[in-house]
Amino acid sequence: MWWILALAACDGTADTEPGGHTGRQPQDTAEPLVVAQDVLTTDLRLDLTTLAGHATVVLLPATDARVVKLAANGLNVSSVKVNGEEVEPTWKEGIGHIPVENTGEPVTVDMDYTFSERSILQFDGWMPSQQVSFIWPDNCMNLYPCNPSPDDGVTVTMAVTGQAAGLTAVYPSTTTSDGPSYMPGIAVGDYTRLELGNTTAGTALVAWHFPGEASAARAAEGTANLVGAYDFFESTYGAYAFGPEAGTVEVNWGSDSYGGMEHHPYVHVGTFDFSDEEAQLHEAAHAWFGDGVRLECWEDFVLSEGTTTYIAARAAEEAGGLDFWPYYVDGFLKPACDGLEVNTIVLPDETCNEIDFENDDLWSLATYMKGACFYEEVGDVMGVQELDAAIADFYGVNVNESARMGEMIDTILAHADEADHAAIETLATEWLRTYECPENYAERCRSRQP
């Protein structure tokens, strides 16, 4: 995601349930050959008038487990069936422990429920006041039964009804392939749909904007290089993973309508930033990192946001001749490094899913910018094309899977000359594993070495 102003304030509000963390599933003890529970697919039927939902979740139970676990903290569940038979789950802190006969094959769980209205202050589910859903980072359980852990990918099919007469509900009928539990999104509005064109690989790009000339003008400005950017991502890093059509949807996040959210295939971008190519390209880029390759651990957040921030700048440069680096460095890196905004070590990867992510400094723009600067300087050392080849290699190996930033660094090293290894490892230490920003950080990050 990408935000400029106060979206971060939506964590920690009094109304927010502690459910983000109680909902996270404890890891089963790691023994050899133990298969962990794996959610495979989820089909959702959601009615926005009655707030009724029906979910069909196909999941593989963990080895020898007698239950499957699904978080449903924000749901009022009326019926649970396993392979068509009514069952009685045990509920612990919002997580349903659903009894199954474990044959080692996937089971089908059907759940009837209602989901709760969430307010703009909560910002963690379906918000009728804004006609938009927002479930990042781990609030899927306010909209549908799920595993909010970032590593468990799911392919989601959806049918949404009950929007007011004359309005359009924009959502994917299928996400096509596995993404994180926060990826599915719904937006309802009096939308105009624009056909932006096709990439060379054939992905059709579309945009939905609100009525009126101002919105039309914002859409034209913000999407001017969107087809070219997708073309760059596809031809440089690999195929788009989330279907034959992708696009961007203008959403009303109230007074915080800045930035966007990577709800591929139809990303959300707030009204105030809908004209902003940086916000548009950032959310587009998340199809490759964050969604396409998802996080194994929240501690690897820089793999999503640092990589996305960097490749968005690459697309801007290649598709539009635009230079995002002054904006990145002056707008966001300097305040973090100078102490005006949060700074942090952006790769605290000694642990996995042990940090309190929603309240951790890792969820700050320091992670986006120091991560992007790491790549920018690695490109100076090994060559931008060779770094692109390393990123493509990593995407090809890990698309629709979860991965860690350390594995990305290993892939980069494997593509670099032996003579450059020490320099690249020093950059990883300076930008990713050190609190203080490197000396001359601003000049270093924004300058492309020949």
Residue nearer to Zn ion on the CB measure, 7 or 68: 7
Name the one residue in this structure whose structure tokens are 């990826």: 183
The two tokens of residue 60 are: 């593989």
The residues that bridge with 55 in the sheet, in sequence order, are 44, 111
Task: List residues near Zn ion by CB under 5 A.
Answer: 1-2, 305
Rounded Cα gap, residues 137 and 344, in angstroms:
19
Nearest-CA neighbor of 133 among 245, 266, 19, 292? 266
Chain CA centroid to CA 22, Å = 21
SS3 13: coil
Rounded Cα gap, residues 48 and 131, in angstroms:
9
Residue nearer to Zn ion on the CB measure, 155 or 304: 304
Q: How far is the CB of 187 from Zn ion (least distance, A)?
A: 18
Residue nearer to Zn ion on the CB measure, 1 or 188: 1
Q: How far is the CB of 298 from Zn ion (least distance, A)?
A: 14
Residue nearer to Zn ion on the CB measure, 278 or 430: 278
Rounded Cα gap, residues 419 and 425, in angstroms:
11
Residue nearer to Zn ion on the CB measure, 53 or 137: 137
Q: How do strand 52-60 and strand 85-86 relate by DSSP bridges?
A: unpaired
CB–CB of 133/46 below 8 Å?
Answer: no
Spatial strand order in the sheet of 187-189:
126-127, 132-133, 187-189, 168-170
Residue nearer to Zn ion on the CB measure, 44 or 284: 284
CB–CB of 196/289 below 8 Å?
Answer: no
Q: How far is the CB of 270 from Zn ion (least distance, A)?
A: 13
Q: How far is the CB of 262 from Zn ion (least distance, A)?
A: 6
Rounded Cα gap, residues 196 and 365, in angstroms:
30
Residue nearer to Zn ion on the CB measure, 110 or 305: 305
Strands (E), 338-437: 402-403
Strands (E), 36-145: 38-47, 52-60, 67-71, 75-82, 85-86, 90-92, 95-99, 107-115, 126-127, 132-133
Rounded Cα gap, residues 332 and 397, in angstroms:
32
CB–CB of 23/148 below 8 Å?
Answer: yes
Residue nearer to Zn ion on the CB measure, 275 or 367: 367
Residue nearer to Zn ion on the CB measure, 182 or 441: 182
Q: How do strand 155-161 and strand 38-47 relate by DSSP bridges?
A: parallel
Q: How far is the CB of 305 from Zn ion (least distance, A)?
A: 5
Residue nearer to Zn ion on the CB measure, 277 or 305: 305
Tell me which H or E stretch contains 156.
strand 155-161
Q: How far is the CB of 40 from Zn ion (least distance, A)?
A: 26
Q: How far is the CB of 67 from Zn ion (least distance, A)?
A: 35
Q: How far is the CB of 286 from Zn ion (least distance, A)?
A: 6
Sort 52 into a burial class: Cβ within 10 Å, 0-12 / 13-18 / 19+.
middle
Q: How far is the CB of 189 from Zn ion (least distance, A)?
A: 22
Q: How far is the CB of 350 from Zn ion (least distance, A)?
A: 24
